[in-house]
Amino acid sequence: MIRFGLCCIFKEEPIRFGRATAGFLLKFSPAERRERLSKICLANAQSLFRALAFCRQNGIGCFRINSQILPLKTHPDLGYEVSDLPDAKTIMDTFKACGRFGRDHDIRTTFHPDQFIVLSSPHADVVARSVADLEYQAEVAGWVNADAINIHAGGVYGDKASALMRLRETVEMLSDPVRKRLTLENDDKSYSPRDLLPVCEDMQIPLTYDVHHHRCLKDGLTLEQATAQAAATWNREPLFHLSSPEKGWESGAPRHHHDYIDIRDLPKL
C-alpha cells in the first residue's frame, strides 16, 4: 500500500505559513523582534496542525513541512532559540501535538531543507551554516515526529568524487538527531541515483528516489533498478518524490515542475 503526500503549501485551503524578513525585523528592538517572531512561529505551529488535520480528512498520508516553519531561525543576526521566545511553551506544545496527531493517525511528516544547504561545499562557512540549519530542522522534527530530513548532494565543483568525499566527512560529524533522519535525493543536474547509491549504502543513508529528476538526469539504471536499489537503502518505509514537467516531456525544459502530477508519470511498478 502506497501513501501519497502533499508538499508544504495550500492554495485553496485557508492554511498559511507566515515568514519574516530580516531587513524589516532589524528595525525593531530585540524584545520586539522576539515578540514578532514568536507570533509567527506559533501561528505556523497551529497551521501545521491544521495541515495534518486536512491530510487526515482527505486520506493523505504524508506532509512535507516547509523549511521556514521557524523563520530566520539560524539567521546570522536574527537567529534565536525557541526557548527564548515569549510563546516558547505554547509553540513547543503545539508542535508536540502535531507529533501525537501524526502518530495517532499515521500521517508521516518530512523536511526538505532548501538549496542553500550544501554539505559538499569546499567553503567551510557554507557547510557550517548548512549544518546549523539541519540542526534546527532536526529539533522541530523531534517535536513533530518527522523521520526524514531530505537534502541533495549539492555542487560538483568540477570533481564529483572529491565533493562526495567532503559530504561524507561532514555527515560523519552530524549530531544524532540529524544523522538518524538524514536522507539524500538524486537531483536533475549533478547527482544521479548511481552517483549516490554507493554513499548511501556505505553510510546507511536512505536514498529518496526522485523519478522526475532521474528522467532528466539518466545514469544507465532503469527506473525499476533505481527504485529497487533506493528502496533497499531504507531501514523504514521508503520515501519517493514524483512530479511532472511543466510543459511536457517534449518541451525544451522538462526539468521545470508542473503544479500538478500527470498520472501517466507515476511509474507502473
Binding site for DNA (CB under 7 A): 7-9, 11, 16-25, 27, 40, 66-68, 72-76, 79, 112, 114-118, 121-123, 126, 129, 133, 152, 154-158, 185, 187-190, 210, 213, 243, 246, 252-253, 255-257, 259
End-to-end C-alpha distance for the chain, whole angstroms: 12
Nearest distance, CB of residue 104 and DNA, angstroms:
26
Q: At closest approach, how far in Å is the CB of 142 from DNA?
A: 19
Residue among 156 and 203 whose Cβ is closer to DNA: 156
C-alpha–C-alpha distance, residues 244 and 265, integer Å: 6
Contact in structure between 140 and 102 (CB atoms under 8 Å): no
Helix, strand, coil % over all residues of the chain, rounded to 5: 45, 10, 45
**Considering beta carbons, is residue 66 or 90 the nearer one to DNA?**
66
E strand or H helix at 23: helix 22-25
Residues 6+ apart with CB under 8 A from 131: 119, 170, 173, 174, 178
Closest approach, Cβ 17 to DNA, in A, equals: 7
Q: Which is nearer to DNA, 13 or 106 (CB)?
A: 13
- What's the min distance (Å) between Cβ of 241 and DNA? 7
Pairing state of beta strands 182-185 and 207-210?
parallel
Contacts of 127 (CB under 8 A, 6+ apart): 118, 119, 121, 166, 170
Distance CA 220, CA 64 (A): 30
CB of 73 to DNA, least distance (A): 6
Nearer to DNA, 43 or 231 (CB): 43
Question: Which residue's CB is nearer to DNA, number 22 or number 165?
Answer: 22
Long-range CB contacts (< 8 A, 24+ apart) of 52-60? 52/98, 52/101, 52/102, 52/105, 52/107, 52/109, 53/101, 54/10, 54/13, 54/15, 55/6, 55/107, 56/101, 56/105, 56/107, 60/3, 60/4, 60/5, 60/6, 60/107
Nearer CB in complex with DNA: 23/59 = 23
CB of 32 vs DNA, minimal distance in Å: 12
**Cβ 33 to DNA, closest distance in Å?**
10
Closer of 1 and 31 to DNA (Cβ): 31
